[in-house]
């Protein structure tokens, strides 16, 4: 149970608990202050039910204009600070205006909530789900309490999952053909593949496979793109000769990946790329980037 | 360059320090069973092996440090009670490492445990490992990584009978794995040659040869796999290894690997796969030292053949010789610029092989020689001394093997090879041949063989055009010619007809030898002919008149001709001796006119050619001695000859010589045989004449030097007197002896100023003899009784 302590001493303590909180899976979540907390994990179309308890400070009463709990799905752009965009907003009125003298508990339930997007913590934005309890008051301002929770949605294995096979090169210099066994990978998947060297006229020092995340936010002229290299995996050491084939086996599990997000609520996209990089002895880089789709598979 | 080595030491020290540092933390993690930390520090430790700065030698040091640490890590991995992770998960976990080299070292380490755990078939794990190792393409790092793989997998191959044995094709899996690792290692090894800046080729080759055993070890592992039987070796292992060897197109690798194949696999396999193995040889790079490779192969096979007689049928069955022979032909054809010495060395090896394996197949030997002739005939002039040595070896091998030149003489190509030797070597070889004959006491008994033999040693028999006569060493020349002379005695046949042919052939060859050689060879030849003559004589009864050519007369004509050839030298003393020998032989054959003819020749020589007084003395004694024994002559001839001989004797220069020759002549008139001539009167004449001459000598000495001459002459004559007296010559009386003794005593006394101890002793013993005869009594005692001393 987490309590948020306000800037000034609040008139009461508000706590939000989920009814299946003991059994529900807890996952770590990074807060904006850098701390990692454990929060409950939900997926779309689950019912979110729980209790809100309000406990006035010793010997005080709270006069209020009503108590409500909201379930909010928000997209927050960091460059547009403080400007939340709510794509989901559900409200339950918990109490009519009146006074609270002692600890009072309100059950609530949002049944079968559509939560199409996953919680995401990116470089330029975040997408969060939060329960917000508001005790409205005439004076002294309303008392607000938040409870984050996390949403992850699972996809079935794609019905079509072709391999990626491509021949690339620089004329009279380097010709390679690479093959990744799939174009769509789940988060714990393994990328299996091969690189064939058809022509090598440069002195290659090594070859890496990178996993890159491309997060684009906004639209039109305001598009911000942030690219991040999440994995740098050495595939080859030394210079191959013509005809050589180098195996690829890259386990995705050690890396903090998310599924691919395409045009989430017209606000942002997160895409993943495999970047094959060859470095020659003069440290020149030759690379070829290929998008792969990542999805979240239900753990079996 | 000095800086380079210093830097290298520094880098090595840094690398070792890095390994030790990380190993320290790794040990701590191992002790506290912290898998995550262990993986982290082991990966960091292995990252030190990513260096490119070290030479193979130094890199090896670094590798060994890491290797030791990996053994500790392996123990930790093996014990899953310590880290609580299943081996399957561990196998994935180590693959998360970002750098490939540490990742693969760790993967191999876990892989070895994975196989041991038997949670997956060994073949699957091995296949995965060997495949994944492709990621390291840097030659040195790749070689060491794969060598690590080979090391940890050695005892885990799914071989037959191994605890990791798999399904039906299990051996194949094991073989596939090793072959693949071998192939990749070889590729890396070859590639080393082409990396880095040019111009340091030698250095790189040296570095490469330091690494060759890493590659070769795979072949050794292959040979150790139980399940690799002949079938599999033939169908899979050898073709694939050879494919790699041929395709790598690198001379260093090809040479090393061919040798490796030959050394590590059993001889029996080689024998059964000769064709395949040899088929690869012409495909190798021209710079590969194929001859050494093939020589080693043949050496091994030869030893194998020698090891047991049971294996010989195998050699025949696979036609080992013809295969090897073909292969050598092809290699020589393919490698046009192979030096002559190389080709000849190959032939020597092949010859050694066939001599050991098929000692009964002379045609093989001849074939090899023939091939060699063919090769040599393409070379205008063989000047390479090493090549020459090899040719000598080639020619000596059959001699040593068969211990019998006769065998070699049947080889038609043998002389043709000899033709390609230079003059010196040719002589040397000829000497080898003769020595072989001498050593083995082998008798050459047919004319054909003699003909061939003389063809072989013609370098010794005659001057060869272009030979530098000045360079001849007198000693060597004598040695050579003496050998030839000895050789002539080894040519012998019991059949007179054949023997005659042999003699004719030898004569034909020796006659062209020129004046320097003739004195050596002619006497051998003459005695050889005389032996034939005596032999004929022994058989005379059987073959009377059967063959015209076989008559002693004919034979003597031949002898005359032979001896006459000496006149060109000239060597009259020798000729004279030989004539006398012949005369004696003729005497034995009872052919008077021939004997007379020989004597005539001898006398002619004496008169015309022998001028030296010493030689004359020797000659006259020889003549007298020979003539004395002749019993074939009629009175007239004998008279003529003895007359001549006594005449010559009396005309010698020195009085002493005259005296001695004359008293020797006395024997010509007294032959102590049953029906020998006994002309006592003429004996006495001779002796008296000798005495006269002795007297004359004495007086001359007195006049010239004022002292007495040699008394010993008188004593010698006294002895002759005594001899004939004993033999019953009536003309020699005891009083004559008595007188002579007194004369001698007088002489001795008159010559007291100059005592001659030798003569004194001689006289004393002579007198003692007379005394002895007197005392003996009997007929002889009576005879001597009348002599008063």
Convert the pLDDT of each residue in B418-442 to its tens digit.
777 777 777 788 888 888 888 877 7
Q: Which residues are CB-contacts of B596 (< 8 A; sequence separation ≥ 6)?
A: B633, B637, B641
Taking the C-alpha atoms of residue B259 and residue B280, their distance in angstroms, rounded to an integer, is 13
Using one digit for the tens of pLDDT, what is the confidence trace for B149-161? 999 999 898 888 8
CATH code of the domain in which A201 resides: 2.60.40.640
**Listed residues A151, A184, A200: the one ending a domain:** A151
Q: ipTM of the assembly?
A: 0.89
**Nearest CB to B141; choose among A232, A238, A253:** A238
Q: Do A22 and A144 have their domain in common?
A: yes
CB A107 within 8 A of CB A49: yes
Residues of B in contact with A236 (CB under 8 A): 100, 135-137
Q: Do A102 and A30 have their domain in common?
A: yes
Residue A38 lies in domain = 2-151
CB atoms within 10 A of CB A31: 11
Any domain includes A137:
yes
C-alpha distance from B193 to closest chain A C-alpha (Å): 13
Taking the C-alpha atoms of residue A119 and residue A127, their distance in angstroms, rounded to an integer, is 5
Q: Do A22 and A52 have their domain in common?
A: yes
Any domain includes A156:
no
Any domain includes A86:
yes
Cβ of A251 within 8 Å of Cβ of B96? The answer is: yes
Q: What is the pLDDT of residue A7?
A: 45
Q: What is the pLDDT of residue B754?
A: 61
Is the per-residue pLDDT at A131 higher than 90? yes
Is the per-residue pLDDT at B770 higher than 80? yes
Report how far Cα A284 is from the mean position of its chain's Cα atoms.
34
Any domain includes A159:
no
Give the closest residue to B664 by CA, choosing from B698, B621, B695, B726.
B621
Any domain includes A300:
no
Residues of B in contact with A254 (CB under 8 A): 96
Q: pLDDT category, B550, cuts 50, 70, 90?
A: low
Q: Do A36 and A137 have their domain in common?
A: yes
Look at the alpha carbons of B166, B172, B178, B181 in this order and tell me if their dihedral is positive or negative: negative
Q: Do A143 and A176 have their domain in common?
A: no
User: 3-state class of A297 per DSSP?
Assistant: strand
Pairing outcome for strands A67-77 and A125-135: antiparallel
Q: Do A131 and A110 have their domain in common?
A: yes
Mean pLDDT within B409-417: 78
Task: Considering only residues B313 and B514, tell me which one the structure prediction assigns the higher pLDDT.
Answer: B313
Taking the C-alpha atoms of residue A239 and residue A223, their distance in angstroms, rounded to an integer, is 40
Q: What is the pLDDT of residue A9?
A: 62
Taking the C-alpha atoms of residue B519 and residue A192, their distance in angstroms, rounded to an integer, is 95
Is the pTM for the entire model greater than 0.90?
Answer: no
Taking the C-alpha atoms of residue B788 and residue B610, their distance in angstroms, rounded to an integer, is 45
Any domain includes A194:
yes
Q: pLDDT category, B560, cuts 50, 70, 90?
A: confident
Q: Do A112 and A180 have their domain in common?
A: no
Taking the C-alpha atoms of residue B773 and residue B786, their distance in angstroms, rounded to an integer, is 12
Is the per-residue pLDDT at B467 higher than 70? no
Is the per-residue pLDDT at B324 higher than 90? no
**Listed residues A151, A174, A201: the one ending a domain:** A151
Nearest residue on chain B to A251, alpha-carbon basis = B96
Q: Do A129 and A239 have their domain in common?
A: no
Q: Which two tokens stand for residue B131?
A: 């495949």
Q: Do A188 and A240 have their domain in common?
A: yes
Residue-averaged pLDDT of chain B: 83
Is the per-residue pLDDT at B403 higher than 80? no
Q: pLDDT category, A134, cuts 50, 70, 90?
A: very high
Any domain includes A241:
yes
User: 3-state class of B287 per DSSP?
Assistant: coil
Q: Which two tokens stand for residue B182?
A: 């071998």
Residues of A in contact with B191 (CB under 8 A): 241
Q: pLDDT category, B548, cuts 50, 70, 90?
A: very low
Any domain includes A145:
yes
C-alpha distance from A234 to closest chain B C-alpha (Å): 5
Taking the C-alpha atoms of residue A285 and residue A169, their distance in angstroms, rounded to an integer, is 13
CB B12 within 8 A of CB B58: yes
B50 close contact with A: CB closer than 8 A: yes
Q: What is the pLDDT of residue B464?
A: 62
Q: Do A105 and A206 have their domain in common?
A: no
Q: Do A234 and A130 have their domain in common?
A: no
C-alpha distance from A118 to closest chain B C-alpha (Å): 27
What is the Cα gyration radius of chain A?
25
Residue from A211, A234, A247 to probe the interface with B (highest B Cβ count within 10 Å): A234
C-alpha distance from B178 to closest chain A C-alpha (Å): 19
User: 3-state class of B380 per DSSP?
Assistant: coil
CB atoms within 10 A of CB A156: 8
Number of domains in chain A: 2
**Nearest CB to B135; choose among A232, A246, A254:** A246
Q: Which residues are CB-contacts of B749 (< 8 A; sequence separation ≥ 6)?
A: none
Residue-averaged pLDDT of chain A: 90
**Listed residues A98, A128, A151: the one ending a domain:** A151
Residues of A in contact with B132 (CB under 8 A): 247, 249
Q: What is the pLDDT of residue B472?
A: 64
Q: Do A134 and A257 have their domain in common?
A: no
Q: What is the pLDDT of residue A78?
A: 84
- Looking at the DSSP assignment, which residues form a beta bridge with residue A107? A51
Is the per-residue pLDDT at B601 higher than 60? yes
Residues of B in contact with A233 (CB under 8 A): 98
Q: Which residues are CB-contacts of B263 (< 8 A; sequence separation ≥ 6)?
A: B296, B300
């Amino acid at each position: 149970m987490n309590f948020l302590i306000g800037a000034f001493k609040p008139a009461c303590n508000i706590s939000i608990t989920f009814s299946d909180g003991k059994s529900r899976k807890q996952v770590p979540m990074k807060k904006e202050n850098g701390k990692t907390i454990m929060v409950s994990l939900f997926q779309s179309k689950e019912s979110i039910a729980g209790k809100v308890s309000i406990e006035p400070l010793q010997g005080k009463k709270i006069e209020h204009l009503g108590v409500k709990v909201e379930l909010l799905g928000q997209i927050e752009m960091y460059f547009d600070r403080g400007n939340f965009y709510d794509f989901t907003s559900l409200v339950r009125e918990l109490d009519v205006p009146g006074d609270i003298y002692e600890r009072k508990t309100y059950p609530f339930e949002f049944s079968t909530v559509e939560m199409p997007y996953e919680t995401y913590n990116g470089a330029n934005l975040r997408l969060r789900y939060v329960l917000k309890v508001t005790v409205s008051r005439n004076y002294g301002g309303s008392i607000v309490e938040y409870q984050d929770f996390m949403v992850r949605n699972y996809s079935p294995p794609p019905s079509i999952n072709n391999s990626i096979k491509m021949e690339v090169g620089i004329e009279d210099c380097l010709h390679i053909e690479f093959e990744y066994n799939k174009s769509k990978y789940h988060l714990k998947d393994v990328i299996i593949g091969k690189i064939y060297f058809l022509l090598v006229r440069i002195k290659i020092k090594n070859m890496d496979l990178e996993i890159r995340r491309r997060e684009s936010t906004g639209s039109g002229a305001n598009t911000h793109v942030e690219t991040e290299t999440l994995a740098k995996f050495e595939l080859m050491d030394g210079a191959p000769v013509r005809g050589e084939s180098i195996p690829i086996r890259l386990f995705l599990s050690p890396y903090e990946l998310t599924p691919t997000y395409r045009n989430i609520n017209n606000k942002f996209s997160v895409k993943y790329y495999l970047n094959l990089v060859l470095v020659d002895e003069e440290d020149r880089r030759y690379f070829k980037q290929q998008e792969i789709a990542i999805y979240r598979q239900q753990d079996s | 360059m000095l800086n380079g080595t210093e830097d290298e030491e520094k880098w090595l020290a840094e690398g070792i320090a890095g390994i030790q540092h990380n190993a320290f933390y790794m040990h701590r993690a191992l002790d506290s069973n912290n898998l995550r930390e262990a993986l982290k520090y082991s990966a960091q430790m292995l990252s030190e092996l990513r260096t490119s700065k070290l030479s193979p030698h130094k890199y090896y040091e670094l590798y060994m440090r890491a290797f030791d640490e990996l053994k500790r890590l392996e123990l930790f991995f093996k014990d899953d009670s310590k880290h609580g992770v299943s081996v399957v998960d561990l196998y994935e976990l180590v693959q998360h490492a970002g750098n490939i080299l540490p990742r693969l070292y760790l993967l191999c380490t876990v892989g070895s445990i994975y196989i041991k755990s038997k949670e997956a078939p060994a073949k699957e794990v091995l296949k995965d490992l060997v495949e994944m190792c492709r990621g390291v393409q840097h030659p040195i790092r790749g070689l060491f990584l794969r060598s690590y793989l080979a090391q940890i997998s050695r005892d885990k191959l799914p071989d037959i009978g191994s605890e990791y044995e798999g399904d039906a094709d299990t051996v194949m899996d094991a073989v596939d794995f090793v072959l693949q690792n071998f192939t990749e290692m070889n590729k890396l090894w070859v590639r080393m040659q082409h990396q880095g800046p040019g111009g340091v080729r030698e250095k790189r080759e040296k570095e490469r040869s330091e690494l060759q055993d890493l590659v070769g070890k795979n072949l050794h592992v292959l040979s150790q796999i139980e399940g690799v039987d002949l079938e599999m070796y033939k169908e899979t292992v050898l073709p694939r290894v050879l494919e790699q060897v041929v395709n790598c197109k690198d001379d260093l690798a090809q040479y090393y690997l061919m040798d490796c194949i030959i050394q590590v696999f059993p001889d029996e396999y080689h024998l059964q796969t000769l064709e395949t193995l040899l088929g690869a040889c012409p495909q190798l790079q021209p710079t590969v030292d194929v001859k050494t490779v093939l020589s080693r192969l043949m050496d091994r096979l030869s030893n194998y053949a020698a090891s047991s007689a049971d294996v010989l049928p195998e050699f025949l069955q696979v036609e080992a010789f013809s295969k090897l022979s073909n292969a050598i032909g092809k290699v020589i054809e393919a490698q046009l610029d192979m030096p002559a010495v190389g080709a000849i060395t190959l032939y020597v090896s092949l010859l050694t092989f066939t001599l050991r394996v098929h000692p009964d197949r002379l045609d093989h030997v001849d074939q090899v020689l023939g091939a060699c002739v063919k090769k040599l005939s393409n070379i205008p002039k063989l000047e390479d001394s090493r090549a020459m040595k090899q040719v000598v070896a080639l020619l000596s091998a059959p001699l040593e093997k068969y211990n019998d030149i006769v065998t070699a003489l049947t080889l038609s190509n043998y002389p043709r090879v000899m033709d390609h030797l230079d003059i010196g070597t040719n002589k040397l070889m000829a000497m080898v041949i003769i020595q072989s004959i001498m050593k083995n006491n082998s008798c050459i008994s047919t004319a054909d063989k003699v003909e061939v033999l003389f063809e072989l040693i013609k370098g010794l028999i005659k001057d060869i055009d272009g030979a530098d006569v000045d360079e001849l060493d007198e000693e060597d020349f004598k040695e050579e010619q003496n050998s030839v002379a000895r050789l002539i005695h080894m040519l012998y046949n019991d059949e007179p007809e054949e023997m005659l042919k042999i003699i004719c052939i030898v004569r034909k060859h020796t006659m062209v030898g020129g004046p320097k050689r003739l004195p050596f060879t002619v006497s051998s030849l003459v005695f050889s002919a005389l032996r034939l003559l005596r032999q004929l004589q022994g058989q005379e009864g059987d073959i009377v008149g059967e063959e015209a050519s076989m008559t002693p007369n004919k034979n003597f004509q031949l002898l005359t001709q032979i001896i006459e050839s000496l006149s060109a030298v000239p060597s009259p003393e020798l000729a004279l001796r030989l004539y006398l020998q012949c005369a004696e032989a003729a005497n034995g054959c009872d052919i008077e006119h021939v004997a007379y003819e020989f004597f005539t020749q001898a006398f002619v020589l004496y008169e015309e050619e022998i001028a030296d007084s010493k030689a004359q003395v020797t000659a006259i004694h020889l003549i007298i001695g020979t003539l004395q024994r002749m019993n074939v002559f009629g009175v007239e001839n004998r008279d003529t000859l003895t007359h001549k001989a006594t005449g010559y004797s009396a005309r010698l220069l020195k009085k002493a010589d005259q005296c001695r020759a004359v008293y020797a002549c006395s024997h010509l008139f007294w032959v102590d045989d049953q029906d020998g001539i006994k002309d006592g009167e003429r004996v006495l004449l001779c002796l008296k004449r000798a005495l006269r001459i002795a007297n004359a000598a004495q007086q001359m000495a007195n006049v010239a030097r004022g002292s007495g001459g040699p008394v010993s002459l008188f004593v010698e004559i006294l002895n002759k007197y005594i001899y004939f007296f004993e033999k019953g010559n009536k003309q020699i009386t005891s009083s004559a002896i008595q007188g002579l003794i007194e004369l001698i005593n007088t002489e001795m006394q008159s010559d007291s100023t100059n005592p001659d101890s030798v003569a004194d002793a001689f006289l004393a013993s002579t007198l003692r003899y007379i005394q002895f005869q007197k005392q003996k009594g009997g007929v002889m005692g009576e005879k001597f009784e009348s002599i008063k001393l």
